[in-house]
Structure 1
Amino acid sequence: MPVRNRWIILSVSMVAQVASVSAMFGVPIVLPQLRDAFGITTAQAGMLAGLPSLGLLLTLLMWGVVIDRVGERSTMALSLVLTAGALGALWIVSDLWGAVVALVLVGAVGGPVNAASGRLVLAWFDAGERGLAMGIRQSALPLGVGLSALVLPGAADAWGFVAAMTLPAALALLAVPLVLATAPGPPTTRPARRSSHAEERAAPAAAGSPYRSRPIWRVHGVSMLLGVPQVALMTYALVYLVQEQGWSPPAAGAVVAVAQVPGAAGRLLLGVRSDRTGDRMRPVRWLAVVSGACLVLLALLPHAWAWTAVPLLLACLVLTMWHNGLTFTAVAEIAGTAWAGRALAVQNWLQAISTTLTPVLMAAVITTAGLPAVFAVSAVFSAAAVAVTPGIRARG
């Protein structure tokens, strides 16, 4: 495939990731229907919504080795087929524990799409375009969540939880032929394109493991910390509107979907800015500051002024989405092409720890202090991220 079509490769990778995201993160969007289907509490349903992340946690490091040795195209196609199969298994389970197994399998087989598409970005785009390209790729998360929020609540109301989750399965299968047709492996040499407007520091990553240095560990740590408020908002925003504000599930889903548009746009804009300045992580620090402040306000102000709940919830949803493209770009650049598949798999794996444990932590918070306390606890993790964030500039 001609190098000029690298944007087509990126687009196909993004479609694959939207399909994977819809499967793995569609469950929180239909949390009320999941709760009703199995006769469980909101806290218990939130824990079920975290099970795909548990599956991701169990297998993602293995997938990283597969990506580096087998290649992106085969790995992504296999993952999408297996994801559709795992969602299809929901039709044959007869009890809650069967659903538990199926949801764990969704995460176990769905993880490599994110890491594989990130490796393609590192290989096909230089530092002058990489922040934008990774921002576009990472916008698949809010777009996938937004698509799920628009479609799944109404489908679950009409057909039930299991039938609604068939839609992400169908999307995953539709993405497979696109991946096989238009997502080849990376070029052996990257073509000359326009350089970054910023001074490009540091030659390619030194040979050997990037985990011998501290910066990559600090980026991983920031991603884990900021993953807590991100997952908390993704899991409980819709049910907060339904339970605390009295909205219907389809209306609440529409609000969550609207927030995904600026969520995706922000990742692109921050990617462009980081390409121009060469600074990947300073914007992440400021995002942690601002999002933490908004979370504190969301936990406190609606008690006195109910009208503040929806604007603050939207602001928090958007702000907690913006950091991912920058942190993934920083990890890929530190690791270099030879280690990118494994390093991005580790990045996803450590984020999966946050994604898995956040619903468990927040279930305890909800039980002891109520749903709004989730936002106050999330703000603590944003504050910790401010201290951990390193200063890293773009690599060529």
Structure 2
Amino acid sequence: MLAVQTAVSFLSRIAPTLAPMLAPRIGLPVESVGYLSALITGGSIVSLLLGLPLLRRLGSMRNLQVGLSIGVLGALLSAVPAPSALLLGSLMIGISIGPPSSAGMDVLQRFAPQRHRNLLFSVKQAGVPLGGVIAGLLLPWASQRLGIAAAVAISAVIGIITVLAVQPLRGRVDAGRERDLALHWKMFLTPSNLRKPLAVLVAMPALRRVGLAGGCLGAGQSAWFAFLVTYLVVELHWSLTAAGALFALMQGVSVLGRPLAGFISDRLGGGLRVLRWAVVGSSLTTLALAFCTAAWPAWSVVALAVLAGLTVASWNGVQFAEVARLSPRDRLNETMTGATLLLLSAYVAGPALFSLVVALGATFSAAFAATALVTLSALLPLSRIPAN
């Protein structure tokens, strides 16, 4: 699950890490990376909404492989120097994100020991920043040395290797799949199938509040992931390679921070306190980034990136573990999908609104300050959930 999550995350970082080169060559402004990030997340929402019947029929592991293969094709398409190709490729990369979210959670719920659930959910989610580390270090360097096409080809190879590497696990993990389930288009597009995940989540107050808190935190996280490199290059005048390295540093800290957050949550008996700490830390770190200028010494910006790795980017596994803890066992797939949809909706809205604010004439600093306020608002739903 960690390997697949890492590969999918790596593919989804192509646009954010290469935006200063990708956008100008097809005549788009650099802030358009926010719309591309929103499109990627929109594709993941589509695959989540339509994916439950496939999960039942194909099994979790095959679902992961199919999704990742679509992401590989999308990555290759995004290298074509045309706006339509970049848009379609980004959408396909987004579609590849859905299966690791739903199928991955299904596998962990079935195989993870109860006493280590927060830790193992967090280890799986560590694949998101780990993919960002690899992308931040590899893609800017490869694109400047070898060209964008070669950098994207390397990305596709990483995805293909991962698809092949998990094949030996397929028989065991997917043994219980519904082999006789006949798939029909009505199974995917009926209103009940599209509505059920969110309806189940909204009907349960504690789950709804955890989901809303994840959305507020996700808005801040998506702004960092989508705009950090562009902000460093355009506003703080860093080189693309240096900005990519700092992006990788933030993600690398999160690779350690996510399991650490899960470990602490297990020791405390639940994750609510850790989530509240993450809200405060994330909002303060984002607000500090809003005040950065080119006159700030490099070490101070590096320190902010380290803090962001621990606060902005390390709470996801704990939040999903809390959803699993609060969910009725017979509704787990629906509630996990609903919580993921709320989070991904924030991932769509966050970068898109950020881009819109900048396009309307506001500064990057003002957009980051507004993002900090959105993140802080997660304290409201979390304060209304009883302690573990």
TM-score of the superposed pair, with normalisation by structure 2: 0.86
2:184 paired residue number: none
1:49-68 alignment runs, 5 A limit: 49-68=37-56
In structure 1, runs of 5+ residues without a counterpart are 1-12, 189-207
How far apart, in 2, do the equivalents of 1:29 and 1:94 lie? Answer: 17
In 2 relative to 1, CA 350–328 (structure 1 residues): closer, same or farther, beyond 3 Å?
A: same
Instruction: Give per-residue Cα distances to partners, 1:96-146, cap 9 Å, x unaligned.
Output: 123212211221233211221122111112321111111110100110111
Question: What secondary structure sits across from 2:271 in the alignment?
Answer: coil
1:242-391 alignment runs, 5 A limit: 242-300=233-291, 302=293, 305=296, 308-367=300-359, 368-389=361-382, 390-391=384-385
In 2 relative to 1, CA 90–42 (structure 1 residues): closer, same or farther, beyond 3 Å?
A: closer
In 2 relative to 1, CA 235–317 (structure 1 residues): closer, same or farther, beyond 3 Å?
A: farther
1:72 paired residue number: 60
1:1-396 alignment runs, 5 A limit: 13-90=1-78, 93=80, 95-183=82-170, 184-185=172-173, 211-300=202-291, 302=293, 305=296, 308-367=300-359, 368-389=361-382, 390-391=384-385
How far apart, in 1, do the equivalents of 2:44 and 2:288 lie? Answer: 32
2:187 paired residue number: none
- Verify the 8 A CA contact 1:33 1:160 in the aligned structure 2: no
How far apart, in 2, do the equivalents of 1:155 and 1:70 lie? Answer: 36
How far apart, in 2, do the equivalents of 1:304 and 1:94 lie? Answer: 35
What's the % identity of the aligned pairs? 24
What is the root-mean-square deviation of aligned Cα atoms in Å?
Answer: 2.4
Shift of 1:68: 4.2
How far apart, in 1, do the equivalents of 2:38 and 2:374 lie? Answer: 18
Instruction: Give per-residue Cα distances to partners, 1:151-182, cap 9 Å, x unaligned.
Output: 00111223443432232222121111222212
Question: What secondary structure sits across from 1:321 in the alignment?
Answer: coil
In 2 relative to 1, CA 317–268 (structure 1 residues): closer, same or farther, beyond 3 Å?
A: closer
Shift of 1:380: 0.9
AA matched with 1:218: R
Question: What secondary structure sits across from 2:173 in the alignment?
Answer: coil
AA matched with 1:100: L
In 2 relative to 1, CA 147–70 (structure 1 residues): closer, same or farther, beyond 3 Å?
A: same
Instruction: Give per-residue Cα distances to partners, 1:34-69, cap 9 Å, x unaligned.
Output: 122212212223322332111112221222343245
- Verify the 8 A CA contact 1:146 1:260 in the aligned structure 2: yes
In 2 relative to 1, CA 178–259 (structure 1 residues): closer, same or farther, beyond 3 Å?
A: same
- Verify the 8 A CA contact 2:285 2:304 in the aligned structure 1: yes
Instruction: Give per-residue Cα distances to partners, 1:187-209, cap 9 Å, x unaligned.
Output: 99xxxxxxxxxxxxxxxxxxx95
Question: What secondary structure sits across from 2:313 in the alignment?
Answer: coil
- Verify the 8 A CA contact 1:112 1:345 in the aligned structure 2: no
Aligned length: 362
- Verify the 8 A CA contact 1:88 1:169 in the aligned structure 2: yes
- Verify the 8 A CA contact 1:211 1:217 in the aligned structure 2: yes
In 2 relative to 1, CA 309–302 (structure 1 residues): closer, same or farther, beyond 3 Å?
A: farther
Instruction: Give per-residue Cα distances to partners, 1:267-320, cap 9 Å, x unaligned.
Output: 111111211222212210111012212222222364885554442244234411
How far apart, in 2, do the equivalents of 1:169 and 1:18 lie? Answer: 13
